[in-house]
Chain A
Amino acid sequence: MDNFKPRILVAKPGLDGHDRGVKVVARALRDAGMEVIYTGLRQTPEMIVEAALQEDVDGIGLSILSGAHMPLMARIMELIAEHGMTDVPIFLGGIIPDEDISRLNEMGVAGVFGPGTNMDKITAFVWEQVRTRA
């Protein structure tokens, strides 16, 4: 399409209240020329998927530091499937133990980025994921 701008939803599911990391990522995606819809802290899976649907996003970035990533992501992926949005790539940041990464990938999570990841790596990954949607 003529004026394709990737639209990315960035949110924090669950109860941890630390949003510095997710804001840094939101800012980096903005500076990479994307339109970032930031919905803030303490989002339920239902809130996230509803926002993603209404905003018709091209990708979803989530940050979870609470350790509750497995049940949260299970519910989010369930809702994504329910709404027929499995074509929307989802990437995850935060404190995720290595042994969970492959299980998250199996669930359909496209990428997992731990603390200290280079921002360029994240923005390049997201561009790569959304490019085909133009």
Chain B
Amino acid sequence: MPLNDLIRRTRQGQPRAIARLITRIENGAAAAEIIPRIYAATGRAHVIGVTGAPGSGKSSLVNELAKALRRRDYKVGIVAVDPSSPFTGGALLGDRVRMQDLSGDKGIFIRSLASRGNLGGLSEATAAVVKVLDAAGFDTILVETVGAGQAEVSIASAAHTTLVIEAPGMGDDVQSIKAGILEIADVLVVNKADRPGAARTVRSLKMMLQLGQAMPVNHHGRSLQTTAVSPNGMENDNFWQTPVLETVAIDGTGIEALLDVVLAHKAHLQATDGWLKQEKIRSRREVEQLLHARFMEQFQTAVSQNDREQLITAIANRETDPYTAVAAIFAQINE
């Protein structure tokens, strides 16, 4: 089907056209042709990122959140990313197994993506895929990352609202004050809250959050004032207090309350300049990523495969070093 037809049908929300357009973006350079034609129609959807450790219940939670959103009449797009094998390039995308409740609903579109070697918890095409769903008229787009460790934080710049899912019994209090994934949460969710240890996990997360804010902390019976460190560099009157919520995704406990908070965060972003700030963060990152890709392309065209191999071998043999090699490549490109 010609690209124009595909784009027109996608704008009308036709599932087959949406699916085809996403494939074209994933498989080639088509994004550079497609995105400019739909970009003006994007920016309306609320993008919600869902991240957390493997097995913490991301897919089940996305399933329940999607059902709750549908009860409130939002059209829901879902992008679920699972890892590609670093050895064969193959992938097993299994997030749909937990989303079977959602089938048969025309107001829901689910797409599974393989990470295809991209680090950070998303695939390279994810941002463009989100735009396709946005242009197709989905009000809310849930983006589920690969099972994340401590540093898969790309989602924070790709989503308006980031949910970090924790499960009880995943390490001690020190884990909760480490830098990384917990810092990007707009909402912290302790899933599997019917399991032993849930209360303790909630407590240590709340403690972590208190340490980052200007508020009195009770310590040995004395009230201490901590210094305010605003994580996103936001002004303090615009400060969003990250809540900690408990859910049991498999039976739906706590989901309505979670959705209330997620929508409150959206309202907060819209009421302050947070929405625009988030859009700027996302835009800056996208420009940087595209520049990076173009630079790499230029390098690969300017320096032949053979020369690249020789250079790599020379570095491995300690005949030259990576910095000198890059300086030489840049000199060659700029000639």
What chain B residues lie within 8 Å of A29 (beta carbons)? 90
**Known: A36-B92, A37-B96. Contact between A2 and B27, CB under 8 A?**
yes
* Main SS at interface, chain A: mixed
A37 to B112, CA, bound (A): 7
Chain A, range 18-62, C-beta contacts under 8 Å to B: 26-27, 29-40, 43, 46-47, 50-51, 53-56
Distance between B152 CB and nearest chain A CB, rounded to angstroms:
20
Which residue in A3, A38, A40, A50 is a CB contact (below 8 Å) of B116?
A3
Distance between A24 CB and nearest chain B CB, rounded to angstroms:
12
Q: Is the Cβ of A26 less than 8 Å from the Cβ of B92?
A: yes
Which residue in B28, B92, B93 is a CB contact (below 8 Å) of A1?
B28
Distance between B59 CB and nearest chain A CB, rounded to angstroms:
11
A116 close to B (CB within 8 Å): no
Which residue in B19, B27, B90 is a CB contact (below 8 Å) of A55?
B19
Q: Is the Cβ of B90 less than 8 Å from the Cβ of A34?
A: yes
A91 to B103, CA, bound (A): 22
Name the residue on A nearest B24 (C-beta).
A1
A42 to B105, CA, bound (A): 18
Distance between A134 CB and nearest chain B CB, rounded to angstroms:
9
Chain B interface residues toward A at CB < 8 A: 15-16, 18-20, 22-24, 26-29, 84-85, 88-94, 96-97, 100, 103-104, 109-112, 114, 116
Chain A interface residues toward B at CB < 8 A: 1-5, 7, 26-27, 29-40, 43, 46-47, 50-51, 53-56, 83-84
Query: What 5 additional pairs, Cβ within 8 angstroms, besides A3-B27, A39-B97?
Result: A4-B27, A27-B92, A37-B112, A50-B104, A56-B19
Q: Would you list the 5 A-B pairs with minimal beta carbon distance, nearest first?
A: A56-B19, A30-B90, A40-B97, A1-B27, A2-B28
